[in-house]
């Protein structure tokens, strides 16, 4: 954010300073200069951003660009080497209670293998405590009750995704972090999930979705964050991107931007 720091690549701002701090009246998650290194790999490189309530943010980028690391950092599963994350204005370092406001759907959810679906759901409810606001709509719409006696170890990838999704939405969290949510889901379930995400967005939740293919989620997305090699390459509202590139579909938008960048690299390079 500091213009004087010119040797560090800046996130590409596609239109001046239209995204000013004042633009975010209800910042939910704020990152300041995150750095994380795994051995030789720089997974996060001086990452800064603000995410607000009511947004649906697509976190995109090629494999190994640091998306999952970023998500895990927000969840406190990865501890950054430097930098801070503020959740609802408070630094999350060493904290745990803030996670009550997050629903997390992992890329591949795995649960104690010998436990049944019903036992896992019961366990999660138990772990969250009594005062959580329960939202069991996904459990119903995915018809997980009928599979209640199935052991999680024997589940197919799709059923497992359904369980993960149901658990992520179960506690009506303010923030939803969905890592590749539609991968492995059949079209019907995928649509159910999409509707659910839309519903939650309307309620003013912050929704963070990672994916490399977002085509079926295009209509949900309000903002796009594009990462590459641990860097935040750009962060802009979807509408603005569509307008600038003249494309409607997100994949096309991204492709167009990539082309522009290769022909006209950022100033810092």
Partner 1 sequence: MKKVMKYVLADILRNRIVLLYTALLLVVSCSVFGLEDNADKGMLSLLNLTLIIVPMMCIIFTTIYQYNSAEFIELLVSQPLRRRHIWLSLFAGLAAALSIAFLVGVGLPVILFQPSLTGLTMVLCGVALSVIFVAIALLASARTRDKARGIGKAILLWLFWSLLWDALVLFFLFQLSDYPLEKPMVLVSFLNPIDLARILILLRMDVSALMGYSGAVFREFFGTGTGILVSALALMAWVAVPLWLSTRAFRKKDL
What residue ranges bind partner 1 (CB under 8 A)?
Answer: 36, 38, 72, 75-79, 96-100, 102, 104, 106, 108-112, 114-115, 123-124, 126-128
Between 110 and 249, name the residue whose CB sits nearer to partner 1.
110
Shortest distance, position 68 Cβ to partner 1, whole Å: 11
Between 4 and 114, name the residue whose CB sits nearer to partner 1.
114
Shortest distance, position 36 Cβ to partner 1, whole Å: 8
What is the CB neighbour count within 10 angstroms for residue 261? 16
Shortest distance, position 161 Cβ to partner 1, whole Å: 14
Using alpha carbons, list the distances in angstroms from residue 227 to 31, 148, 169, 237, 246. 14, 39, 26, 15, 22
What is the widest separation between alpha-carbon atoms in the chain? 60
Residue with tokens 């994949």, as numbered in its chain: 251
Using alpha carbons, list the distances in angstroms from residue 39 to 42, 43, 44, 50. 8, 9, 12, 28
Shortest distance, position 84 Cβ to partner 1, whole Å: 16
Between 53 and 72, name the residue whose CB sits nearer to partner 1.
72
Structure tokens at 245: 């590139």
User: 177: which residues sit within 8 A by CB, 6+ positions away?
Assistant: 71, 74, 75, 102, 103, 104, 105, 168, 208
Phi, psi of 184 (to 5 degrees): 85, -5
Shortest distance, position 138 Cβ to partner 1, whole Å: 17
Between 15 and 108, name the residue whose CB sits nearer to partner 1.
108
Between 102 and 197, name the residue whose CB sits nearer to partner 1.
102
Q: What distance, in Å, lies between the first and last C-alpha atoms of the chain?
A: 17
Shortest distance, position 93 Cβ to partner 1, whole Å: 11
Structure tokens at 204: 């003013």
Between 115 and 198, name the residue whose CB sits nearer to partner 1.
115
């Amino acid at each position: 954010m500091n213009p004087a720091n010119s040797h560090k690549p800046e996130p590409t701002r596609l239109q001046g300073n239209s995204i000013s701090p004042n633009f975010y009246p209800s910042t939910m998650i704020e990152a300041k200069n995150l750095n994380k290194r795994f051995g030789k790999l720089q997974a996060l490189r001086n990452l800064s951003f603000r995410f607000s309530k009511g947004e649906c943010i697509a976190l995109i980028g090629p494999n190994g660009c640091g998306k999952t690391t970023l998500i895990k950092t927000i969840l406190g599963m990865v501890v950054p080497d430097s930098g801070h994350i503020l959740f609802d204005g408070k630094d999350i370092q060493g904290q745990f209670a803030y996670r009550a406001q997050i629903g997390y759907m992992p890329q591949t959810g795995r649960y104690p293998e010998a436990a049944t679906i019903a036992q896992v759901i019961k366990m999660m409810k138990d772990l969250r405590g009594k005062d959580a606001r329960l939202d069991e709509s996904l459990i119903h719409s995915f018809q997980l009750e009928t599979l209640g006696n199935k052991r999680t170890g024997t589940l197919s990838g799709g059923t497992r995704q359904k369980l993960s999704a149901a658990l992520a939405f179960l506690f009506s969290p303010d923030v939803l972090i969905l890592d590749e949510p539609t991968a492995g889901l059949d079209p019907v379930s995928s649509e159910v999930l999409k509707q659910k995400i839309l519903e939650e967005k309307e309620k003013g939740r912050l929704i963070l979705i990672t994916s490399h293919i977002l085509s079926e989620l295009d209509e949900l997305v309000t903002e796009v964050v594009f990462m590459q090699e641990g860097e935040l390459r750009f962060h802009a509202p979807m509408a603005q991107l569509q307008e600038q590139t003249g494309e409607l579909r997100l994949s096309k938008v991204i492709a167009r931007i990539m082309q522009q960048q290769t022909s006209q690299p950022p100033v810092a390079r």
